Amino acid sequence: MKKKIAFHTLGCKLNYSETSTIRKMFPESDFEVVDFKDEADYYVINSCSVTQLAEKKTKTAAKQAKKRNADSKVSVIGCFSQLSPEKLSELEYVDMVLGNDDKYNIVEYIQNPNSDRATEVYVADIGKIKRFIPSFSSGDRTRSFLKVQDGCDHFCTYCSIPMARGRSRSVSVAKTIEVAKQVAQEGAKEIILTGVNIGDFGKGSTENFYDLLVELEKVDGIERIRISSVEPELLTDEIIELVAKSDVFLPHFHLPMQSGCDKILKDMKRFYDTELYAGRVAKIKELLPNACIAADIIIGFPTETQQDFNDTMAFVEKLELSYIHTFTYSQRKNTFALKINEQVPNLEKKRRSQQLHILSEKKKDVFYKQSIGSKHKVLFENSNTDGIISGWTDNYIKVYAKYDEKLVNSIVDVVLDKEYEDGFWLG
């Protein structure tokens, strides 16, 4: 009789691609994949540890899984497991803890349990990990997250990802293209490139991220590619120009900013300043006026004064950004910022976050208003919510329509002229 197994993913797009790959490792002859909300024999939670809230969500998911079936085996894998295995192993509702390299051996561990240990913990030294496991998300999605890179060598003072993911690594362009072709064979029309620091692709070899993009554009069957998040100093003019000339790469960029104040960027040990960042935004808008440009900003870094925050607000105000992902600074284990004595009070962090959120909504509204009357190609996803289907334009604007099965995984020319909820309506 087949054992039932359920998966739950928290965090970034990279995690989603890896969960999909791990799910496919379980032989169909022995396991039946069920929804995480259902009763199962095994629950696998791919965790996130970028903030304290992410860790809390991981523990909540594990606890809920155990409640659904007290006899089930609950495994927590990924970043939280890598950074804090001792925290997880102490939880009575967690049976197995697997780090970011050991998670790929989960089938073996589940099929051959060590009965002598209450909670099995397998966490390798992240500094010694060199292997790269190609991954991509699959299923009924019309878009697929393609992992092209893992790890990071930047060691920004607020970030624990290098300790969770290890050093920057990737495989060759040729091997990455082989995986992209598999995505095409599964029928996905859009690829979103993902990794920890994808602009670092090819580091240590003679190849680079631009070389990968040139070859990805040639893959038959993939009609759209989103580059996703690239560090400003790694997004070269050459890459922007390639996107501008391409019928495959989409006019959508995610540029992590983290702060609009040079003093704070220096304290964070970022690899750029506001002048470079503004130059990247200007170059994109020069060649792709309708491009969507999103930014990440961290609010409440320990050394951020009111004036520093004001500088960030003023910098963001003058940039042609489409929207902003706002993150409140969260102390992370083993980071340099943890040693800084000053701390921004939580209430002040909340106030600043609210201000930036208001500015983000203002930016998004301007971007949408500028799009009214423009024509775009929309890829509709396999979703049906109360008789409504949705999809995304090339420049990442949400479009809704009355559900029609023929629209699923199809690319349709749309004129954006009817605003609806957080996007536009087709028809």
Give the domain CATH number at 54: 3.40.50.12160
Tell me the C-alpha distance between 28 and 403, whole Å. 32
Quick check: 120 and 96 in contact, CB under 8 A?
yes
Which of residues 62, 94, 124 is at a domain's end? 124
* Furthest-apart CA atoms within the chain: distance in Å: 66
Let me know whether 7 and 115 are in one domain: yes
Instruction: Report how far apart, in Å, the C-alpha atoms of 321 and of each of 227, 248, 351 are.
Output: 17, 22, 22
The tens place of each residue's pLDDT in the chain, 427 residues long, gives: 899 999 999 999 999 999 999 999 999 999 999 999 999 999 999 999 988 899 999 999 999 999 999 999 999 999 999 999 999 999 999 999 999 999 999 999 999 888 666 799 999 999 888 899 999 998 766 899 999 999 999 999 999 999 999 999 999 999 999 999 999 999 999 999 999 999 999 999 999 999 999 999 999 999 999 998 999 999 999 999 999 999 999 999 999 999 999 999 999 999 999 999 999 999 999 999 999 999 999 999 999 999 999 999 999 999 999 999 999 999 998 899 999 999 999 999 999 999 999 999 999 999 999 999 999 999 999 888 999 999 999 999 999 999 999 999 999 999 999 999 999 998 7
Quick check: 327 and 297 in contact, CB under 8 A?
yes
pTM: 0.93
Give the range of the structural domain holding residue 54, as residue numbers without chain letter.
Answer: 3-124
- Cβ neighbours of residue 420 closer than 8 Å, sequence gap 6 or more: 400
Quick check: 3 and 32 in contact, CB under 8 A?
yes
With tokens 């501008």, the residue in question is 244
Quick check: 47 and 78 in contact, CB under 8 A?
yes
Residue 258 domain flag: yes
* Torsion sign over Cα 186, 77, 134, 12: positive
Let me know whether 65 and 33 are in one domain: yes
Let me know whether 367 and 389 are in one domain: no
Number of Cβ within 10 Å of residue 272's Cβ equals: 20
Let me know whether 326 and 381 are in one domain: no
Residue 130 domain flag: no
Question: Please, which residues bridge with residue 328 across strands?
Answer: 299
With tokens 């790959």, the residue in question is 21
**Alpha helix (H) ranges present in 246-345?**
262-267, 274-287, 306-318
- Of 225, 227, 242, the C-alpha closest to 283 is 242
At residue 142, the pLDDT reads: 86
At residue 281, the pLDDT reads: 99
Let me know whether 386 and 325 are in one domain: no
With tokens 């010694």, the residue in question is 128
- Cβ neighbours of residue 386 closer than 8 Å, sequence gap 6 or more: none
Give the tokens for residue 202: 């090819």
Tell me the C-alpha distance between 193 and 101, whole Å. 21
**Alpha helix (H) ranges present in 147-249?**
161-165, 173-185, 209-216, 237-245
What's the one-letter identity of residue 319?
L
Quick check: 82 and 126 in contact, CB under 8 A?
yes
Burial 161-180 (b: 16+ CB within 10 A, else e): bbbbbbbbbbbebeebeebb
Tell me the C-alpha distance between 9 and 15, whole Å. 7
Tell me the C-alpha distance between 73 and 324, whole Å. 39
Let me know whether 259 and 142 are in one domain: yes
Which of residues 74, 102, 124 is at a domain's end? 124
DSSP assignment string, 365-420: HHHHHHHTT-EEEEEE-S--BTTEEEEEETTS-EEEEE--GGGTT-EEEEE--SEE
Which of residues 335, 352, 371 is at a domain's end? 371
At residue 140, the pLDDT reads: 60
Quick check: 137 and 16 in contact, CB under 8 A?
yes
Residue 129 domain flag: no
Let me know whether 386 and 413 are in one domain: yes
At residue 322, the pLDDT reads: 98
- Of 298, 335, 300, the C-alpha closest to 157 is 335
With tokens 């100093």, the residue in question is 233
Strand order in the sheet with 224-226: 135-136, 143-147, 190-194, 224-226
Let me know whether 170 and 85 are in one domain: no
Total structural domains in the chain?
Answer: 3
At residue 116, the pLDDT reads: 66
Give the domain CATH number at 246: 3.80.30.20
Let me know whether 164 and 299 are in one domain: yes
Let me know whether 363 and 381 are in one domain: no
Let me know whether 293 and 208 are in one domain: yes
Let me know whether 166 and 293 are in one domain: yes
Number of Cβ within 10 Å of residue 255's Cβ equals: 20
Beta-sheet strands, E only, within 300-387: 323-328, 375-380
